[in-house]
Chains A and B, each alone.
Chain A
Amino acid sequence: MAVGVQSEDSPQRRRVRRAALLWALIAIAFYAGFIVLTLVRARK
Chain B
Amino acid sequence: MAETHAPAASHDDHDHKPHGWRRWVYSTNHKDIGTMYLIFSCTMFFIGGAMAMLIRLELFKPGLQFFDPQFFNSLTTMHALIMIFGAVMPGWTGLANWMIPMQLGAPDMALPRLNNLSFWILPFAFTLLIGSLFVPGGAPAGGWTMYPPLVLQTGAAFPMLIFSIHLMGASSILGAINVIVTIMNMRAPSITLLRMPLFVWTWLITAYLLIAVMPVLAGAVTMLLTDHFFGTTFFTAAGGGDPVMFQHIFWFFGHPEVYILILPAFGIVSEVIPTFSRKPLFGYEAMVYATASIAFLSFIVWAHHMFTVGMPLAAQLFFMLTTMLIAVPTGVKVFNWTATMWKGSLSFEPPMLFALAFLFLFTIGGFSGLMLAIVPADYQYQDTYFVVAHFHYVLVPGAIFGMMAGVYYWLPKWTGHMYDLKLAKWHFWLSTIFVNVLFFPQHFLGLAGMPRRIPDYAVQFTDWNMVSSIGGFGFGLSQLIFPYLIWKCVRGGERVGNKAWEGAHGLEWELPSPPPFHSWTEPPSDAVIARGAEH
Contacts and interface: CB of A to CB of B under 8 A. Distances in A.
Interface of A: 3-4, 12, 15-16, 19-20, 23-24, 26-35, 38-39, 41-42
A4 B177 contact: no
Nearest to A30: B215
Contacts of A41: 242, 245
Contact of B177 (A24, A30, A32): A24
A35 B222 CA distance: 9
B63 interface: no
A23 B234 contact: no
Which 6 A-B pairs give the minimum distances between C-beta atoms?
Answer: A4-B107, A31-B215, A30-B215, A34-B219, A3-B14, A23-B177
B241 interface: yes
Interface stretch (B180-188, B308-316, B342-350): B180-188
12 contacts: A3-B521, A4-B107, A12-B186, A15-B185, A16-B111, A23-B211, A26-B211, A26-B212, A35-B219, A35-B223, A42-B234, A42-B242
B346 to A, nearest CB: 39
A42 B108 CA distance: 46
Interface in B162-181: 173, 176-178, 180-181
Nearest to A19: B181
Contacts of B216: 30-31, 34
Given A34-B219, A35-B222, A42-B240, 10 more contacts: A3-B11, A3-B518, A12-B185, A16-B185, A23-B181, A24-B177, A27-B173, A30-B213, A34-B252, A35-B219
Interface in B368-415: none
A20 B181 contact: yes
A38 B243 CA distance: 11
B6 interface: no
Nearest to A15: B185
Interface of B: 11, 14, 107-108, 110-111, 114, 173, 176-178, 180-181, 184-186, 211-216, 218-220, 222-223, 233-234, 240-242, 245, 249, 252, 518, 521
A38 B249 contact: yes
Contacts, number: 79
A11 to B, nearest CB: 10
A29 B103 CA distance: 32
Contact of A19 (B184, B212, B240, B518): B184
Contacts of B173: 24, 27
Contacts of A20: 110-111, 114, 177-178, 181
Contacts of B242: 41-42
Given A34-B220, A35-B219, A35-B223, A23 B240 contact: no
A41 B234 CA distance: 10
Nearest to A26: B211
B221 to A, nearest CB: 11
A1 B400 CA distance: 42
A31 B218 contact: yes
A12 to B, nearest CB: 6
Which of A15, A19, A24, A27: most chain B CB closer than 10 A?
A: A27
A20 B212 CA distance: 14
A39 B215 CA distance: 16
Contacts of B180: 19, 23
A23 B215 CA distance: 12
A16 B219 contact: no
Contacts of A12: 185-186
Contact of A4 (B108, B176, B215): B108
Which of B185, B211, B233, B240: most chain A CB closer than 10 A?
A: B185
B211 A16 contact: no
Contacts of A3: 11, 14, 107, 518, 521
Contacts of A19: 180-181, 184-185
B234 A38 contact: yes
B162 to A, nearest CB: 14
B281 to A, nearest CB: 29
